[in-house]
Structure 1
Amino acid sequence: MTVRRVLVFVAVLGALAALLLGLLVVPRAPGSLDTWATDRTGELSERLLDVLVLPTEPYLVIPAIALIAGAAWYLRRREDVILAVAAPVLAVALNTWVLKPIFGRWKDGGLAYPSGHTVSLAAVLVVLMLLARPKVLTAIAAILLLGCATIGLVGLGYHYLTDVAGGVCFATAVVTGLRAVLIPRRVPAPSTG
């Protein structure tokens, strides 16, 4: 299986997961999983939760995008520069203007599913996992950072756990789908014979 096919498979799987999860949770009151997560994280100190949610804030996400794009630019990897900038922007725009209004899940006066905080952070982290090396260490760091942000988002009451899960699935779908599009196609060598 080619890298492009794997990326397309992951993109389709992520999009389907976000869609199915949204269809399952949006029309109902928060389920037992959402309630359990809210109860557990709500017991933590507000100061700790504020720190945990910091990686989702634009004043940290935007410089992270700039650093990744700058490194790719320095390495003269044009497709990686495009991915680093376009993937998070596209994911956030689609989430904000298409998915949230379609699903219409409200929490405290704002549309909540999928979590926009999570989409922005997860998109940057998936870009980083695709571009950085070593892959395993990058993936572990990304998972830990996303786990901490999840605790903060749920604990502060910004989102339900399922909003965060939907955001991760959607961001992964957008980034891997765009990466599949940006992989340079091999030009067949002219026939010598």
Structure 2
Amino acid sequence: MRRTTSLSITVLGLLAVTGLLGAFLAGQHTPAAPDAWFFDTIAGPAGADPVWRSVLLTFSMPALVYGTALLLAGYHLYRGRFRIAALAVCAPPLAVLCSSVLLKPVFDRHYAGNLCYPSGHTTLLVATLTVFVLAHRRFGYAAVPLALIGAFGLIAGRYHYLTDTIGGAALGCAVGLGLYALSLRLRPRPWTGQSAGKSREDTSSGTRRQASPR
């Protein structure tokens, strides 16, 4: 119970980050101050298109992310870990639904004529990585650099603002953790071997069990 409660609080906090940041950026067609700073000092000039930008963009390609999620689901299905397999199947499409279908039209932020907040690619990537961390916590340290590389590729390639990827990362993490918390709540309780009605009968009748003569 405490575990699901803490997860629920974390999910609400992440959703608040996405919502509050989106409310601040809603309807804008220009970069915010952090976006402009990141473009000027880190991402490099817009006209250049070096090979490394194309390489970084592959980390957030939907085909690669969906394929990885299916491999993760297949592996855990084979191992009999059906809950993790279900998370790996459900988290990526739910992430895209929440970001690209539901929230982008609500916040109505544009980049180069397209709706951009929150970043759907970042949401998809982070949601899948969140499921991976939940399934393989020993390798969780690898998820952060992979998410950063994917987000940086989207910014450097001039597909998104920095703030788009921040909102997408928070939303993707919320989707993964939210589904995990839901799966814990829906998990069937272990059978104790004694019905609840019988145990209440024994305690309410006032009779004491006889000690064994042996």
TM-score (norm 2): 0.82
1:62-107 CA-to-partner distances (Å, cap 9, x unmatched) read 1101111011101111111111110111111121111001011111
Q: Does 1:186 align with 2:189?
A: yes
Q: Does 1:174 align with 2:178?
A: no
Large movers: runs of 4+ above 3 Å: 187-193
- Which ranges in structure 1 are unaligned for 5 or more consecutive residues? none
The alpha-carbon deviation at position 185 of structure 1 amounts to 4.3
Question: Is contact 2:38–2:162 with CA below 8 Å preserved after alignment?
Answer: yes
- Cα distance in 1 for partners of 2:71, 2:6 equals 27
Identity over the aligned pairs, expressed in percent? Answer: 35
2:111 aligns with 107
1:151 aligns with 152
**Counterpart among 37, 42, 45 of residue 44 in structure 2:** 42
Question: Is contact 1:42–1:156 with CA below 8 Å preserved after alignment?
Answer: no
The alpha-carbon deviation at position 150 of structure 1 amounts to 1.8
Question: Is contact 1:42–1:154 with CA below 8 Å preserved after alignment?
Answer: no
Question: Is contact 1:11–1:173 with CA below 8 Å preserved after alignment?
Answer: yes
Alignment map for 1:63-78 (pairs within 5 Å): 63-78=67-82
Question: What secondary structure does 2:71 align onto?
Answer: helix
The one-letter amino acid of 2:5's match is R
The alpha-carbon deviation at position 179 of structure 1 amounts to 0.8
- Which ranges in structure 2 are unaligned for 5 or more consecutive residues? 203-214
The one-letter amino acid of 1:11's match is V
Alignment map for 1:124-163 (pairs within 5 Å): 124-134=128-138, 138-163=139-164
1:11-37 CA-to-partner distances (Å, cap 9, x unmatched) read 111111100011112344322211011
- Cα distance in 1 for partners of 2:50, 2:147 equals 18
1:6 aligns with 6
Q: Which has the higher contact order (CA 8 A, sep 6+)?
A: 1
2:21 aligns with 21
- Cα distance in 2 for partners of 1:12, 1:2 equals 15
1:141-180 CA-to-partner distances (Å, cap 9, x unmatched) read 1111111112211111100000000000111111111111
1:31 aligns with 32
The one-letter amino acid of 2:189's match is R
The alpha-carbon deviation at position 187 of structure 1 amounts to 4.5
TM-score (norm 1): 0.91
Q: How many residues align?
A: 190
Question: Is contact 2:14–2:170 with CA below 8 Å preserved after alignment?
Answer: yes
Across the aligned residues of Structure 1 and Structure 2, the Cα RMSD in angstroms comes to 1.8
Question: Is contact 1:46–1:156 with CA below 8 Å preserved after alignment?
Answer: no
1:97 aligns with 101
The one-letter amino acid of 1:64's match is T
Select between 159-168 and 66-75 the one with higher mean Cα deviation: 66-75
Question: What secondary structure does 2:59 align onto?
Answer: helix
Question: What secondary structure does 1:82 align onto?
Answer: helix
